[in-house]
């Protein structure tokens, strides 16, 4: 029976570790005033570990400004990841604002509006 490859699992482990480390690094090491309370919601690593898409959300502040600040700090954050991660290649970081929570709030508002208009009709 052929041995199952553990490669895909390793990719998830590394993405998970990057997510945890970045959450801590952004909170403790990043001093940019444009970056407030950031939540790293997901990390996707390419199979060759050269690049990582980092999805984040924020409670307050300008998403575009925060994204710019994080992408400008990507090299700084990557250097700190080098010291923490025990892998040969630490990926180049690419930050993207995650609109999932924003979309969920919009959907909840639409549902509430539909329910209220339906109850008025009855």
Does residue 64 contact residue 97 with C-beta atoms inside 8 Å? yes
pTM of the entire predicted model:
0.79
Q: How far apart are alpha carbons 34 and 31 in whole angstroms?
A: 9
Sheet holding 92-97, edge to edge: 38-45, 51-58, 92-97
Q: List the chain domain ranges.
A: 7-121
80-91 per-position pLDDT tens digit: 999 998 888 899
State pLDDT tens for residues 8-65: 688 899 999 999 999 999 999 999 999 999 999 999 999 999 999 999 999 888 999 9
Span 7-121 CATH architecture: 2-Layer Sandwich (3.30)
């Amino acid at each position: 029976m052929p041995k199952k490859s553990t490669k895909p699992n390793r990719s998830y482990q590394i993405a998970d570790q990057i997510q945890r480390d970045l959450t801590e690094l952004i909170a403790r090491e990043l001093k940019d005033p444009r970056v407030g309370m950031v939540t790293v919601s997901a990390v996707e690593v390419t199979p060759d570990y050269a690049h990582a898409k980092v999805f984040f959300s924020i409670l307050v502040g300008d998403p575009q400004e925060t994204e710019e600040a994080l992408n400008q700090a990507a090299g700084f954050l990557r250097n700190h990841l080098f010291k923490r991660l025990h892998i040969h290649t630490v990926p180049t970081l690419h930050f993207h604002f995650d609109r999932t929570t924003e979309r969920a709030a919009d959907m909840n508002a639409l549902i509430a509006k539909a329910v209220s208009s339906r109850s008025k009709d009855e």
